[in-house]
Amino acid sequence: MFISTRFLQMGALALALAGCASSGGTTAALNAPPTPSASPAAQKKAAQAPAPQPAAQSEDVPEPAVSERDIKRYAATLAAERGLDPARVQALLNSARYNATVARLIAPPAARPDGAKPQRSWPAYRQRFVEPIRIRAGVAFMAENAQALARAESRYGVPADIIAAIIGVETLYGKHMGNFRVLDALATLAFDYPDPKRPDRAEMFRTQLGDLIELSAKDGVDAASVRGSYAGAIGLPQFMPGSILRYAVDGNGDGKIDLINDVDDAIQSVANFLVEHGWQRGLPVFAPVRLPADPSGLVDGGLSPHLDWAGMQAAGAVQLGATPAEGAAIAAWQRAGLGVINLPDEPTDTVQYRTGTPNFFALTHYNRSYFYATSVSDLADALRDARLRRQAEAPR
């Protein structure tokens, strides 16, 4: 049975969300984590032990935040609202196990000893993903899966380089898909989220846990065994269960969706996800624009474009690299919504600015980060350049 390490501060939250199946949430029966006073070795041993009974609570220890009654009630609500077999739902929840490593990995980064927050650095972030190993692996991935990428580009209008870059950033082309049992990861984060100030995050993971259980019942995903990241993402493109339900597609027509072993399914699903989140065929990710000397006032920090080209011109923006032959393509992005984004390097107190089109903001729906979306775009550019160089150097 799950015993929260949050005790009283989580109790009211757990009760408030216990029946919130309309948002896809659920509860889980987890191995009881050790008490806060246990040694690290004891905590690790307890977290890995096979389903022990909870230790008796002493008089000075509060009641657990999530009770067996809450779990059963929530399982019944989830089953009723999603049309699932109640016994199967309860059995899956009963098999979930608390994972202390998951809780540790997703916890907010600790502040520096001097009390300052960790500093963000766009150049350091970019260097992790736009680097020689990932570029070489990406070129090889694209050569090996050229037909599938071409089909996706033709059907969805998402360039092959962008699709490959997402898979490269997410899992290094399948080398790092995660080895956590997704059921355990999602249950841990749903009901023992390590930051009690973020109940919204716990509720989000409840929703994803419900999505995983629905996938298990309807789409053949084995929720009891499927493995993924410590946050519950699955497969080559690292889709969360809710994204698999809503956006994953059968890329090769074999009647099933397998994002772990079937590269074609993964490629088509990435393209479909982007289109469903606003990707527009033929637009670049970044508009060819020179911004005014201080464009900070044009940045709103949101995940959708809020500017237009006329307004940007009025603020001092200038179109770059235009020729008469480019007129049609330029007109396309000029008619689209635009947004100026900031990419800070706090250690040097500098900021890079770029002008994103709707396609940039479609990438932010994959990961709500300007750093992430820009890294995908830059890796895609690097893959394209590397492929063109290879073609130019090939013997004729």
Q: Which two tokens stand for residue 224?
A: 């009891």
Q: Which two tokens stand for residue 198?
A: 């973020």
Q: Which are the catalytic amino acids?
A: 170
Phi, psi of 227 (to 5 degrees): -120, 155
3-state helix, strand, coil in the chain (%, to 5): 50, 5, 40
Query: What DSSP string runs through 201-246?
Result: HHHHHHHHHHHHHHHHHHS---TTT-EE-TT--BTTTTB-HHHHHH
Burial 126-150 (b: 16+ CB within 10 A, else e): beebbeeebbebbbebbeebeebbe
Residue 157's Cβ-count burial label (10 Å; 0-12, 13-18, 19+) is: middle
CB 20 within 8 A of CB 206: yes
Measured distance CA(200)–CA(203) in Å, rounded: 5
CB neighbour list of residue 239: distance below 8 Å, 6 or more residues apart: 233, 247, 248, 259, 269, 273
Q: Which residue has the tokens 């393509």?
A: 329
Measured distance CA(324)–CA(69) in Å, rounded: 70
Measured distance CA(176)–CA(179) in Å, rounded: 8
Query: What DSSP string runs through 109-160?
Result: PPPPTTSPPPPPBHHHHHHHHSSHHHHHHHHHHHHHTHHHHHHHHHHH---H
How many Å is the Cα radius of gyration of the chain? 24
Measured distance CA(260)–CA(264) in Å, rounded: 10
CB 129 within 8 A of CB 168: yes
Q: What is the DSSP letter of 97?
A: -
